[in-house]
Amino acid sequence: MLNPDKNSNKKIIKFIDLFCGIGGFRLGALNAFKNNDIEGECVFSCDIDEFARKSYYANFGELPEKDIKDISASIIPNHNLLLAGFPCQPFSIIGNGKGFEDTRGTLFFEIARILQEKAPEAFILENVKRLRGHNGGKTLNTILRTLKNLGYYVDFKVLNALDFGLPQKRERIFIVGSKQPHLFIWPEPEIQSLSLDQILEDVVDKKFYASKNIQSKRHQKHKAVHRPSIWHENKSGNISSYPYSCALRAGASYNYLLVNGERRLTPREMLRLQGFPDSFKIVCSDGQTRKQAGNAVPVPMIEQLVSSLLNILFLNKKRKSGQK
């Protein structure tokens, strides 16, 4: 199943990138493959957002397909690994005890039908932390049951970007599955390797600064302990600040996060907070890039998850064949 490269001793993993956004999953996976001396090839990608597709094309030279609901699973190329950060819309019909049928009408079903048709060896799925407790845990249980009924050994865990070297508190649930029985080894937390000083730009356009009135109100409410810091205003209007950012959010208010209580993050800073390299091309407006960064997955987190999964895909195969 894992494809040998005829011109070298390398193995080739073919993967697909569903709900791909601007390519955080793809970047992380390619980094993991490179670090493990494995060849990786993305054979299919899709996203319904036209601006995300534009950014993806600018950086990977491939224009993702549009709505996955309009694409038959049979025409998707065969692949070893499925990657998907599926949107978390209301799971209104989940919890009726009908397994695979319970997922119909949700975007998770689009993943399930592809897994059923193509049966890749493994997958990594990502969603918001609150999926874990949605509907008293019934939603997640239905998803896990569906995946197990499709023949996968499944595990899940909530991970935080702060534990993967990024100065952003971003908790997300990851679901990992493999056709092979496995004890998945989740990546261990690491010391934060990037500080806000390294994320923030030295020169910032005046357009990113909040009005004097907003700055004054922020400073009347809060005194920061750290500098630099990211000031966070919650829905109740309470202000807090940390030497890292709270989670970037695609639909947050314009002044949700302010650097030192004064200015908004620039598009480049937001991409850095998600682990995107400065070589990543910004081709959309500030507003669209802000949305894209808020919807993205942290690249270093994906890199480590894929590296852990490679141990299952390759090392287990070596043990079965008697290789050392």
Give the Å distances, CA to CA, from 146 to 2, 96, 247: 25, 13, 30
User: Encoding tokens for residue 292?
Assistant: 């894209």
In angstroms, rounded to a whole number, what is the distance separating the alpha carbons of residues 142 and 113?
Answer: 15
Helix axes 24-35, 299-310, angle to 10 degrees: 50
In angstroms, rounded to a whole number, what is the distance separating the alpha carbons of residues 60 and 20?
Answer: 12
> What is the number of other CB atoms lying within 10 angstroms of the CB of residue 271?
26
Concatenate the DSSP letters of all residues of 59-89 into one string. HHS---BS-GGGS-GGGSPP-SEEEE-----
Active-site annotation, residues: 88
Strand, coil or helix: 51: helix
DSSP label at residue 188: P
Please say whether the beta carbons of 54 and 20 come within 8 A.
no
Strand, coil or helix: 154: strand
DSSP label at residue 207: G
Q: What is the tally of helices (H) and strands (E) in the chain?
A: 10, 12
Concatenate the DSSP letters of all residues of 104-148 into one string. TTSHHHHHHHHHHHH--SEEEEEEEGGGGGGGGGHHHHHHHHHHH
φ/ψ of 115, rounded to 5, equals: -60, -40
In angstroms, rounded to a whole number, what is the distance separating the alpha carbons of residues 147 and 67?
Answer: 22
